[in-house]
Amino acid sequence: MFINLLDQNSGMLRSVLIRPSNSSGSAYLTKWGFLPVPLGILQLAGCLLTIKDSKVKVIDMEADNTKDVNSVVEETLNFNPDLVGLTLHATAAHNTATEIARKIKELSPRTLTVAGGHHATFLPLDLLRDGFDVSVLGEGDDTIMDIAEAIQTGASLNTVKGIMYRKGDGTFVRTSRRPLIEDLDALPMPALDLVNKEPYIFRTFGDRDRVTCIETSRGCPYACDFCSVTPTWGNKWRNKSVDRILKELEVVKRLGYDWVFFTDDIFIVYPNVGQRKALFERMIENDYRLKFIVQMRADVTAKNPQLIRLGAQAGMSVAFLGIESGSPEILKKMHKGSLTSSSVMAVRTLSQNGVIVLGGLMLGAPYETLPEMITTVRFAHKLADAGLDAVQFSLYTPLPGTRIFDDAVRKNQLFTLDWDRYDILTPVMRTKVHPVITQIVQAYANYSFYVLKFIKGKLLGKKDTGQKALLVSNATKYIIDMMPQYLKDVSAFPGVLLKTARAYNSRKAVITKERALEILQFSNKIIYEEVGGKNPYFLIKEAE
Task: Tell me if 525 is assigned to some domain.
Answer: no
**Do 42 and 169 share a domain, yes or no?**
yes
Q: Using an 8 Å Cβ cutoff, are 427 and 364 in contact?
A: yes
What CATH number did the domain enclosing 54 receive? 3.40.50.280
**Do 320 and 345 share a domain, yes or no?**
yes
- Distance, CA of 412 to CA of 524 (rounded, Å): 17
What CATH number did the domain enclosing 475 receive? 3.80.30.20
pLDDT per position as a tens digit, 271-285: 889 999 999 999 999
Task: Identify the domain containing residue 442 by its residue range.
Answer: 201-396+437-499
pTM, rounded to two decimals: 0.90
**Average pLDDT value for residue range 148-166:** 94
pLDDT per position as a tens digit, 327-377: 999 999 998 877 889 999 999 999 999 999 999 999 999 999 999 999 999
User: What is the percent of the chain where pLDDT is above 90?
Assistant: 65
**pLDDT value of position 471:** 85
pLDDT per position as a tens digit, 387-430: 999 999 999 999 888 889 999 999 999 999 888 899 889 999 99
**pLDDT value of position 289:** 84
**Do 174 and 285 share a domain, yes or no?**
no
- Distance, CA of 403 to CA of 124 (rounded, Å): 17
pLDDT at 459 over 70: no
**Do 358 and 235 share a domain, yes or no?**
yes
pLDDT per position as a tens digit, 182-236: 999 999 999 999 999 999 988 888 778 899 999 999 988 887 888 877 778 777 7
Task: Tell me if 520 is assigned to some domain.
Answer: no
**Do 213 and 345 share a domain, yes or no?**
yes
C-alpha 497, offset from chain centre: 26
Task: Tell me if 473 is assigned to some domain.
Answer: yes
**Do 78 and 174 share a domain, yes or no?**
yes
**Do 427 and 447 share a domain, yes or no?**
no
Number of domains in the chain: 2
**Average pLDDT value for residue range 13-26:** 85
Q: Where are the beta strands (DSSP E) in 13-170?
A: 13-19, 54-60, 83-87, 112-116, 134-136, 163-166
> Percentages helix, strand, coil for the chain, rounded to the nearest 5?
45, 15, 40
The rounded mean pLDDT for the chain is: 88
Which DSSP string do the residues of 394-416 spell out, in sequence order? Answer: EE----TTSHHHHHHHHTT-BS-
Least confident of 194-203, 250-259, 355-364, 484-493: 484-493
**Do 380 and 236 share a domain, yes or no?**
yes
**Do 333 and 269 share a domain, yes or no?**
yes
Task: Tell me if 415 is assigned to some domain.
Answer: yes
Task: Tell me if 40 is assigned to some domain.
Answer: yes
Q: How many CA atoms lie within 13 A of 387 on its CB side?
A: 22
**Do 74 and 15 share a domain, yes or no?**
yes
Task: Tell me if 192 is assigned to some domain.
Answer: no
**Do 137 and 264 share a domain, yes or no?**
no
Task: Tell me if 523 is assigned to some domain.
Answer: no
Pick from 299, 390, 300, 393: nearest CA to 351? 390
Q: Using an 8 Å Cβ cutoff, are 276 and 307 in contact?
A: yes
**Do 333 and 454 share a domain, yes or no?**
yes
